[in-house]
Structure 1
Amino acid sequence: MIVILSAPSGHIWRKTDNPLIRYTDLPTRPQLMQITTGAAQDVRDFYPQHSVPAPAARPSGEAGPRDLLVLSIDATGINMIDSGLRETPPGRDHGPQPPSAQLSCRERTGRTRMAVVTAVYDAAPAVRGPADIMPTGAIERAGRRPGPKAVNREVDASIIDSTAPMTTRLFDRAQQRDPQHLRRWIVLVDGNNHQIDRINAEAHAHGVRINLILDFVHVLEYLWKAAEDLHPTQPGRAAFIARTARDLLEHHPARVIADLTSQHEALAQAGTPASGLKRCIDYLTAKQPYLIYRIALAMGWPIATGVIEGTCRYLVKDRLAITGARWSLPGAEAVLLLRAVITNGDFPTYWKFHLEKEHQRTHTSRYQHQYDLAA
């Protein structure tokens, strides 16, 4: 049995079962930080020269480039030490909070920094219908068809880079997979306006036509807020969600928006507050160009951001959001980069690349002139 003990001096000691070797001195915490950041320093240089295999041919014999190329981006917060936080915008005070008995509530304000997470993957179209998403009975539930399956998934994350450079890097990786733009590019978003603006800008810069789709699960969340204002009981709310969500999948979103607007006007005339319903109407109206679910299902496209949501969980939260953890900026960035490389299955290839780069930095670049003289 091996037990890790932490000494007051900052050293980490490992107790072994060997009576001749009772304790061995492991690297200190600063040394571990240095090792980790050093191991991750070549990740950004590795991927531009690292290609992903093309999609395999379909069983029918059709070529892979006709498949979908799916891109997605999201952000999630990480608790940081004070030196790792972004600068506070003018007029906003999010400085350190005073000690309090309610640390779980008060320490959250101004303590997190958003990590940007991206994912790009291949998928074969999987045609579905509204009944496959929102079945109304046992027969429809039994006949549900699966959606597109993600293959050759590649994820990336950064706590240092903002949305703009991460979106550029996401499109660059997609460009490597489809340089001639022969495939259908699908971009899944959760409605963040800045992300949408950057996605459209990168699509224009890369000269590619994209199909931007709003995550259907986020739409359901707003529909639930509207249901709380329209129906007092849970069965009534569930029935409203089933009916309205099915209408969004089957018809043009303008029809659903018009129906919700008429209900909101009726409540306003009766003097009944309906802030949740108003937020839902505003959200659907603002995102109406991206509510193309009827077309997406008929073409076999994905309509949910499950891949990027799961990436935020297992790539970021499972490691950097453990209880009591607060991260420095270099440490969090290095851990995110290495976890992304390992998740992509590229660590053996990357480590060979890293060792070659390290050899150039420590030997070749220093002694090359001596080799030339000797020759």
Structure 2
Amino acid sequence: MRHSLGLRRLAVLEAVRGSYDIAMEAITRACGRVVVKRQVECLVRAAAVDVAAFYAARTPTPASAGTLLVLSVDGKGIVRWPGYLREATLKAAERATRTFRTRLAIGEKGNRKRMATLAAVYDADLAVRRAHDVSAPPGGRSTARIPRPGPRAQAKWLTGSVEHDPEYVIGAAFDQVQAPDPQHRRCWEVLTTAPATNST
């Protein structure tokens, strides 16, 4: 069944905001009952395949030597069905005893997540700011000092995976950051979070 670009876009937008069920409700409100849940899943998967083609066809805007080249890496835990957990996490989940049936108790480890690695590469011009531009001073902000704007990301490239190891995603990000600056003439800024444990 062929679907319009607008329907695919709506399916993707609503699915990433919440779930396939939320996407189904939004499509039904906008278009009537034209698809079933399995078709929404297929639309979202097809859009994910199109991401690589989108970046391959895009021509990056040239940047000056003073423009920062930023590489950002982060991790996000995603709740998975037991069959999709890594072996160590699955064993920990099987050994765990649940205090409550429907929710976790305070301090109770879930042992039901896998870590997705997310990476972004983008250009950003320097933005000179003071301490109170970044965080509010004691007593809150006043109209006397208007915060200076922070840097704006341009020419963004994004990727993420729960299937591949962090090394794979980080390697793809470094390949992407090499492309606009093979001679390393620009200032690179690498942003990352603390590494996750291997049990997730």
> Percent identical across equivalent pairs?
31
Q: Distance in 2 between matches of 1:74 and 1:149?
A: 19
| CA shift for structure 1 position 121 | 1.4
Q: Is the 8 A contact 2:129 2:150 kept in 1?
A: yes
Q: Which residue of 2 aligns with 1:102?
A: 101
| CA shift for structure 1 position 128 | 3.0
Q: Which runs of 5+ in 2 are unaligned?
A: 1-23
Q: CA RMSD in A?
A: 4.0
Q: Which residue of 2 aligns with 1:37?
A: 45
Q: Is the 8 A contact 1:48 1:173 kept in 2?
A: no
Q: Match of 1:165, SS?
A: helix
Q: Name the one with the larger helix percent.
A: 1
Q: Distance in 2 between matches of 1:34 and 1:144?
A: 45
Aligned amino acid, residue 187 of structure 1: V
Q: Which runs of 5+ in 1 are unaligned?
A: 1-11, 17-22, 56-63, 195-375
Q: Is the 8 A contact 2:89 2:111 kept in 1?
A: no
1:191 alignment partner, one of 186, 189, 194: 194
In structure 2, the CA distance between the partners of 1:15 and 1:129, relative to structure 1 (3 Å rule), is: closer
Q: Which residue of 2 aligns with 1:80?
A: 80
| Cα deviation digits, residues 160-217 of structure 1 (max 9, x gap) | 11210110111111112222222110011233389xxxxxxxxxxxxxxxxxxxxxxx
Q: Which residue of 2 aligns with 1:164?
A: 167
Q: Which residue of 1 aligns with 2:61?
A: 53
| CA shift for structure 1 position 37 | 3.3
Q: Distance in 2 between matches of 1:151 and 1:125?
A: 12
| CA shift for structure 1 position 83 | 2.1
| Cα deviation digits, residues 56-110 of structure 1 (max 9, x gap) | xxxxxxxx232111111111111211222122269x5222867874321179622
In structure 2, the CA distance between the partners of 1:96 and 1:82, relative to structure 1 (3 Å rule), is: farther
Aligned amino acid, residue 72 of structure 1: S
Greater RCO (Cα-Cα under 8 Å, separation 6 or more): 2
Q: Which residue of 2 aligns with 1:147?
A: 150
Asked which structure has the greater CA Rg, the reply is 1
Structure 2 counterparts to residues 60-139 of structure 1, below 5 A: 64-88=64-88, 93-95=92-94, 101-105=100-104, 109-130=110-131, 132-133=133-134, 135=137
Q: Distance in 2 between matches of 1:171 and 1:84?
A: 28
| CA shift for structure 1 position 139 | 8.7
Q: Distance in 2 between matches of 1:96 and 1:127?
A: 52
| Cα deviation digits, residues 27-79 of structure 1 (max 9, x gap) | 5x455545543453464466456442223xxxxxxxx2321111111111112
Q: Distance in 2 between matches of 1:126 and 1:163?
A: 30
Aligned residues: 166
Q: Match of 1:188, SS?
A: strand
Q: Match of 1:169, SS?
A: helix
- Scaled by the length of structure 2, the TM-score of the pair is 0.62
Structure 2 counterparts to residues 220-369 of structure 1, below 5 A: none
Q: Match of 1:40, SS?
A: helix
Q: Distance in 2 between matches of 1:120 and 1:41?
A: 19
Q: Is the 8 A contact 2:119 2:158 kept in 1?
A: yes
| CA shift for structure 1 position 122 | 1.0
Q: Match of 2:167, SS?
A: helix
In structure 2, the CA distance between the partners of 1:125 and 1:26, relative to structure 1 (3 Å rule), is: closer
Q: Is the 8 A contact 2:98 2:104 kept in 1?
A: no
Q: Distance in 1 between matches of 2:145 and 2:156?
A: 29
Q: Which residue of 2 aligns with 1:365?
A: none
Q: Which residue of 2 aligns with 1:176?
A: 179
Aligned amino acid, residue 103 of structure 1: T
Q: Is the 8 A contact 2:28 2:34 kept in 1?
A: no
Q: Distance in 2 between matches of 1:121 and 1:15?
A: 36
Aligned amino acid, residue 88 of structure 2: T
